Amino acid sequence: MKVTRSNVYSRGVILSVVVITLLMTVLPLWVSNNAIERLTVLFIYITLAAMWNTLAGFGGLISIGQQLFFGLGAYATIRLSDLGVTPFVALVLSALIVGLLSWPISRFMLRLRAGEFAIGMWVLASIGHLLVNLDPLIQGETGISLIALNQYPIETRRTLIYWSALIGMLGLLLGLFCLLRSRAGIAMQAIRDNEEAADSIGVDPEKVKRWFFLFAAFGTALAGALWLAQASTFQPKAYFSVQWTAYMIFMVLVGGIGRFEGAILGALLFFVVETWFAATGVWYLVGLGAVAMLCSLFLPKGLWGFIEQRLGIQLIPVGYQVTSPTSQIAKPSPKETLCRHSEKPSS
Dihedral sign from CA coordinates of 168, 285, 297, 303: negative
Rounded (10°) CA dihedral 129, 135, 139, 144: -80
Domain count for the chain, please give it: 1
Phi, psi of 152 (to 5 degrees): -105, 140
Q: With contact defined as beta carbons under 8 Å apart, do 249 and 265 qualify? A: no
* pLDDT tens track for 21-51: 899 888 888 888 888 999 999 999 999 999 9
Nearest-10 crossing angle of helices 67-82, 87-109? 140
One-letter amino acid of 69: F
- Which band of pLDDT confidence, cut at 50, 70 and 90, is reported for residue 103? very high
Q: With contact defined as beta carbons under 8 Å apart, do 245 and 49 qualify? A: no
In a domain, 109, yes or no: yes
pLDDT at 296: 77
In a domain, 97, yes or no: yes
Whether 347 has a pLDDT exceeding 50, the answer reads no
Give the range among 25-34, 98-107, 115-124 with minimum mean pLDDT. 25-34
* pLDDT tens track for 125-179: 999 999 999 988 888 888 888 888 888 888 889 999 999 999 999 999 999 998 8
Segment 42-62 shows an average pLDDT of: 92
Name which of 158, 128, 174, 201 is nearest 21 in CA terms.
Answer: 174
In a domain, 311, yes or no: yes
Domain with 199 in it = 2-342
Q: CA-based angle 139:145:150, to the nearest 5? A: 150
Helix (H), strand (E) at residue 4: strand 2-4
- Which band of pLDDT confidence, cut at 50, 70 and 90, is reported for residue 5? low
* pLDDT tens track for 253-297: 898 888 888 899 999 989 988 888 777 777 777 777 788 788 878
CATH number where 315 lies: 1.10.3470
Three-state secondary structure readout of 172-185: HHHHHHHHHCCHHH
In a domain, 347, yes or no: no
Name which of 347, 297, 60 is nearest 196 in CA terms.
Answer: 60
In a domain, 180, yes or no: yes
CA distances from 33 to 36, 37, 40, 227 (A): 5, 6, 11, 16
